[in-house]
Amino acid sequence: MQTQVAGTSIVELARKVRAASIQAAQLSSGAKQNLLTRLAEALEQNREALQQANQGDVNRAEENGLSGPMLERLRLKDTVLDQMALSLREVAQLPDPVGEINRMARRPNGMMVGRMRIPLGVIGIIYESRPNVTTDAAGLCLKAGNACLLRGGSEAHETNMALGNLIAEVLEAQHLPREMVTVVPLTDRAVLTEMLKLEDEIDLIIPRGGEGLIRFVAEHSRIPVIKHYQGICHTFVDASADSEMATSVIVNGKAQRPSVCNATETLLIHHQALQTCWVSMAEGLLKAGVELRCCDRSWGLLREKGLETAQVKRAEPGDYGQEFLDYILAVQVVDSFEEAVRHIQRYGSNHTEAIVTQDHQQAMRFLREVNSSVVLVNASTRFADGHQLGLGAEIGISTTKLHSYGPMGIEELTTQKFVVLGEGQIRQ
């Protein structure tokens, strides 16, 4: 039995999106740039109506006793709307990835063989309460020539429907099918489960939200899913590290914004750096309000130096490999480079790891031996972000090694087909 959605089923809805994706793939660069700019303008011109719809969601959320930070995320403040419009304008200006041909080379029989970048087709985005995802995802998918099916959280339903209608109107004004960006008008789990089985209509699912949602999607989807569950990021301070640089990089990695997935969660210190760097790092971290969960050796040195404040604790085994998302840092002294790498392999989540070192050979070894999605030498883990790494915009971060690994921009919403230019060649 199929769930009925506004008089239609999710599979019929998805088929219309699939049909619209053929047109999306053929949009010219100019048309896409224009479309995204029109979307930004529509957001600005309909500020009041959008905020009114959002107020409905906020009121319901308050009645349901939604907590502070979640309510904050839901709220369509002026600054949020401004940022949504700005993001669309920025993505509009990025170079068009579609149609790029590379590696064109001649084969012995004279054929030219290369690869041309093309859209994936239909992207399904599953997300929670943040309404900005609706326009961010629509903009990135369209820029890469994809149609999309957006399934937001029930808390933000009224806001998402208002945004979806606005996007549909802009599409129609450009003589494009409104289904090119479709906000799923129902939010119950049965619809989601059904959507995740539509492998003929949807090419890729990107879940954005808490680990529970992501695990649900990964378990129930027959469509490829690109995701990351956690960001358990490590910074390794090597024997040769410069104390000042190590302090600056770890304080930034941990405390610049502790609630996000690229914040450092565990500090590994080479035993030779214990005397040279640890006191300076600890002072910087304590000053930034970070609680330190220390192994025996790192704790011992702080005690010796009289730095044993209430913020300094003994680590429990469960502190390693934990995603605190808070002003808390696990600290472990290791006896060698190899031990640091093994610790990362055991406790890491393939997200982001950094080394601080003055030794070129150790820097190169770290790049080679640590296969997390972002590996940094002498820079803060906080740079693991599409904007920061130069992708222009980001639709998510993948720690699944397939298709895309690390921050995903518009290029990661495309694939490459083989193109062959012959002169009548046949196979012998």
- Name the residue among 81, 74, 73 with its Cα closest to residue 46: 81
Provide the angle, in degrees to the nearest 10, between the axes of the packed helices 29-45 and 132-143: 160
- Closer residue to a second copy in complex, CB, 38/270: 270
By CB under 8 A, tell whether 8 contacts a second copy.
Answer: no
- Residue 357 near residue 378, CB atoms below 8 Å: yes
By CB under 8 A, tell whether 325 contacts a second copy.
Answer: no
Q: Judged by CB under 8 A, which of 22, 86, 104, 173 binds a second copy?
A: 22
What is the rounded CA–CA span in Å between residue 388 and residue 213?
27
Q: Judged by CB under 8 A, which of 373, 393, 396, 410 binds a second copy?
A: 373
By CB under 8 A, tell whether 215 contacts a second copy.
Answer: no
- Closer residue to a second copy in complex, CB, 218/279: 218
What is the rounded CA–CA span in Å between residue 226 and residue 398?
6
Size of the site for a second copy (CB under 8 A): 71
By CB under 8 A, tell whether 336 contacts a second copy.
Answer: no
Least Å distance, CB 382 to a second copy, is 4
Q: Per CB under 8 A, which of residues 105..144 are in contact with a second copy?
A: 105, 107, 111, 113, 116, 118-121
- Residue 96 near residue 177, CB atoms below 8 Å: no
Q: Judged by CB under 8 A, which of 363, 395, 408, 410 binds a second copy?
A: 363
Q: Per CB under 8 A, which of residues 83..102 are in contact with a second copy?
A: 99
By CB under 8 A, tell whether 26 contacts a second copy.
Answer: yes
Antiparallel, parallel or unpaired: β 264-270 and 233-237: parallel
Least Å distance, CB 389 to a second copy, is 5
Least Å distance, CB 258 to a second copy, is 13
What is the rounded CA–CA span in Å between residue 387 and residue 384?
9
Q: What is the DSSP letter of 95?
A: P
By CB under 8 A, tell whether 424 contacts a second copy.
Answer: yes
Residue 228: both structure tokens together: 């990351």
DSSP track, 4-34:
EETTEEHHHHHHHHHHHHHHHHH--HHHHHH
- Closer residue to a second copy in complex, CB, 175/346: 346
By CB under 8 A, tell whether 287 contacts a second copy.
Answer: no
Q: Which range binds a second copy by CB under 8 A, 6-14, 149-157, 281-289, 376-384? A: 376-384
- Closer residue to a second copy in complex, CB, 289/422: 422
By CB under 8 A, tell whether 212 contacts a second copy.
Answer: no
By CB under 8 A, tell whether 417 contacts a second copy.
Answer: yes
Q: Which range binds a second copy by CB under 8 A, 9-17, 158-166, 289-297, 419-427? A: 419-427
Q: Judged by CB under 8 A, which of 10, 137, 376, 410 binds a second copy?
A: 376
By CB under 8 A, tell whether 408 contacts a second copy.
Answer: no
Residue 417: both structure tokens together: 């087909």
- Residue 374 near residue 384, CB atoms below 8 Å: yes
By CB under 8 A, tell whether 400 contacts a second copy.
Answer: yes
Alpha helices in 144-210 (DSSP H): 157-173, 189-195
- Residue 118 near residue 151, CB atoms below 8 Å: no
By CB under 8 A, tell whether 420 contacts a second copy.
Answer: yes
- Name the residue among 415, 14, 404 with its Cα closest to residue 227: 404
What is the rounded CA–CA span in Å between residue 144 and residue 377?
31
| Per-position x/- string for 172-201, each x denoting binding to a second copy as judged by CB under 8 A, each - no binding | ---------------------------x--
Q: Per CB under 8 A, which of residues 216..275 are in contact with a second copy?
A: 218-219, 222, 224, 242, 244-245, 248-249, 251-253, 256
Q: Which range binds a second copy by CB under 8 A, 55-63, 181-189, 327-335, 379-387? A: 379-387
DSSP track, 227-254:
------EEEEE-TT--HHHHHHHHHHHH
Residue 324: both structure tokens together: 């605190």
Q: Per CB under 8 A, which of residues 51..90 are in contact with a second copy?
A: none
- Residue 287 near residue 250, CB atoms below 8 Å: no
Antiparallel, parallel or unpaired: β 4-5 and 181-183: unpaired
Q: Cite the beta strand spans of 39-153 per DSSP E.
A: 101-106, 112-119, 122-127, 147-151
Q: Judged by CB under 8 A, which of 71, 213, 307, 389 binds a second copy?
A: 389
Least Å distance, CB 236 to a second copy, is 14
By CB under 8 A, tell whether 390 contacts a second copy.
Answer: yes
Cα-based distances in Å from 150 to 70, 131, 136, 169: 20, 11, 11, 16
Q: Judged by CB under 8 A, which of 48, 63, 78, 423 binds a second copy?
A: 423
What is the rounded CA–CA span in Å between residue 107 and residue 320?
52
Least Å distance, CB 400 to a second copy, is 7
By CB under 8 A, tell whether 160 contacts a second copy.
Answer: no
What is the rounded CA–CA span in Å between residue 71 and residue 129?
9
